[in-house]
Structure 1
Amino acid sequence: MWTDRRARVSDGVELFVADKPGHSPLLVIHGGPDWDHTYLRTPLHDLDRRVLLPDLRGCGRSTRGLPSYTWDEAVTDLLALLDALEVPRADVLGFSTGGLIAQRLTLTAPHRVRRLVVASSSVIPLPPDAFAGWTERDRRLAEGADALPPDLTGAEANRARAIAFATCNVWRAESLPDYLDRLSRIAFSGDWSRAWEAGALPPVRVPDAEARLIALGVPILLLHGRQDMTFPAALAEQAAARNPSATAVILDEAGHMAHIDQPGAWLGALSRFLA
């Protein structure tokens, strides 16, 4: 079903992309960012659309070891990918950090985006007290910190962190084995982490993104898990209330990895929005 390929997007940079055939393309931007796209293949393989799932620069099977990592470069890569695949306009889904990159892409090239899906991410910046009083989150974070091996760096640190904090990303105990299996298949990297640790990585969030998206009027789906411990669901509801072009779908019994906790409901909400 998926065709794996490489696309040259600039001198010295190739993006690895999984391409599922179908009509009306959907570009999906993974999170991390030092992850790859593979944890998102399911349930997207059941979506009745063409799905493009690239690894960002420095991630997975795309070009690594580059001298520079910025969010604008990631956006430029993705727009060049659409050009290389002869896709003049697409729907765009960004997951977690990818949701912030997707907003940046939409504001950079609005003529290339038909509809925008911000999944398990946020248009509104996180307030300092976003999770105040949530004792279950505090407990899971403490358990994750206790399980985190010391003295790891780069890709191995990112893998270990993902595993240690797995219960902070999926809410349902029944979802944990599937999630851990997906983590075992990810080709983690450390390129973006090194740029961040060196102080060379600018903020991913566009400062005035919310106001600019409202003015732009692009249809937006804010697709979220009620028990998301990374980006609170309340921010998705607030953003939808303030933007006439936005709709929030909040899935109960779902955490940050809402597509794993509630795959059927997640895919259904996505399909209805893109129809």
Structure 2
Amino acid sequence: MMFTESHVPVGPDVTLFVARTASAAGTPLLVVHGGPDWDHTYLRDPLYRLANVVLPDLRGCGRSTRDLPPHRYTWDAVVADLLALLDALGIVRTDVLGFSTGGLIAQRLVLTAPHRFRRLVVASSSVLPVPPGPPRDVVPHGLEGAEANRADAVAAAPVEVWRDEARADYLARVAAVRFSGDWWYPWTAGTLPPVRVPDAAARLADLGLPILLLHGRQDMTFPAFLATEAAALNPAARAVILDDAAHAAHIDQPDAWIAALTEFLD
């Protein structure tokens, strides 16, 4: 996989680590990873097949600036970082894909600066609120921060991927992630504000921005029916639901996932 990597300052004391695929004609694609205490690397495959992909680690994540004071971990700060990143890279207008929690951040980003975005992909995430469900397995007692996040990611393998033969790939990607705990601490302390934008479905529909809701049918984190329902509320949105795919649909069904994405972005 061919990526160029760099550190890009986006503020006086915040630098984002960014991986990029080769440049070519056409609109770039900014990718917002989930977690948020993961990094972007688990999304490199199959996105390496596309040109003009920009994959940053968010503040507090991966190889970007970490160990900021807890009050500086807010979703609005992330949005400001990403807009500053586009400015630093000379990108006037882009497509954006948000995965999982990144899908909620991407909605906030688009609603903050709609003129900067051509198309939105909400992948393994949701525009509509997620109804309460059974709790996830609790990580082993005594773990916190990065260790807790890694343990949770490993324990979640049966939920993240649907196909047994894809599980080894998922676990290998988890092993390579540079987990942090910067977001874990304000989240567990109850000081982290909600990432979901109020009335996101109506506000996105008012924008008229083309939206792809790209989902695995067996996703147990963000149920697939939410993608179908959100698409029905917005004439500019469409849902693509992939069979035999769970939350990590890009790992379960990489060819179908990248084909749906490519068709939408063309």
What TM-score, normalized by structure 2, do the two folds share? 0.96
What is the CA deviation profile of residues 218-254 of structure 1, one whole-angstrom value per residue up to 9, with x for unaligned ones? 0000000000010000000000011000010000000
* Residue 112, structure 1, aligned to residue 116, structure 2: yes
Q: How does 1:93-242 map to 2 (within 5 A)?
A: 93-128=97-132, 144-145=137-138, 148-242=139-233
Letter in 2 for 1:74: V
In structure 2, what is the equivalent of residue 35 of structure 1? 38
Q: What SS does the aligned partner of 2:31 have?
A: strand
In structure 2, what is the equivalent of residue 55 of structure 1? 57
Q: How does 1:17-36 map to 2 (within 5 A)?
A: 17-23=18-24, 24-36=27-39
In structure 1, what is the equivalent of residue 9 of structure 2? 8
| Most deviating of 18-27 and 83-92 | 18-27
How far the C-alpha of 1:64 sits from its partner, in A, is: 0.4
| Rounded Cα–Cα distance in structure 1 between residues aligned with 2:249 and 2:35 | 15
Q: How does 1:257-268 map to 2 (within 5 A)?
A: 257-268=248-259
| Rounded Cα–Cα distance in structure 1 between residues aligned with 2:83 and 2:39 | 18
How far the C-alpha of 1:197 sits from its partner, in A, is: 1.9
How far the C-alpha of 1:171 sits from its partner, in A, is: 0.6
How far the C-alpha of 1:150 sits from its partner, in A, is: 2.2
| Most deviating of 25-34 and 162-171 | 162-171
Unaligned runs of 5+ in 2: none
How far the C-alpha of 1:82 sits from its partner, in A, is: 0.5
How far the C-alpha of 1:21 sits from its partner, in A, is: 1.5
How far the C-alpha of 1:22 sits from its partner, in A, is: 2.7
In structure 2, what is the equivalent of residue 250 of structure 1? 241
What is the CA deviation profile of residues 114-170 of structure 1, one whole-angstrom value per residue up to 9, with x for unaligned ones? 0000000000001236x7xxxxxx9xx5xx55xx43211110110011001111100
Letter in 2 for 1:15: L
Unaligned runs of 5+ in 1: 132-137
Letter in 2 for 1:202: P
How far the C-alpha of 1:208 sits from its partner, in A, is: 1.2
What TM-score, normalized by structure 1, do the two folds share? 0.93
Q: How does 1:56-75 map to 2 (within 5 A)?
A: 56-67=58-69, 68-75=72-79
Overall identity of the aligned pairs, in % = 67
Q: What SS does the aligned partner of 1:191 have?
A: coil
Q: CA RMSD in A?
A: 1.2
| Match 1:87 to one of 81, 85, 91 | 91
How far the C-alpha of 1:198 sits from its partner, in A, is: 2.3
What is the CA deviation profile of residues 30-57 of structure 1, one whole-angstrom value per residue up to 9, with x for unaligned ones? 000000000000000012x300000000
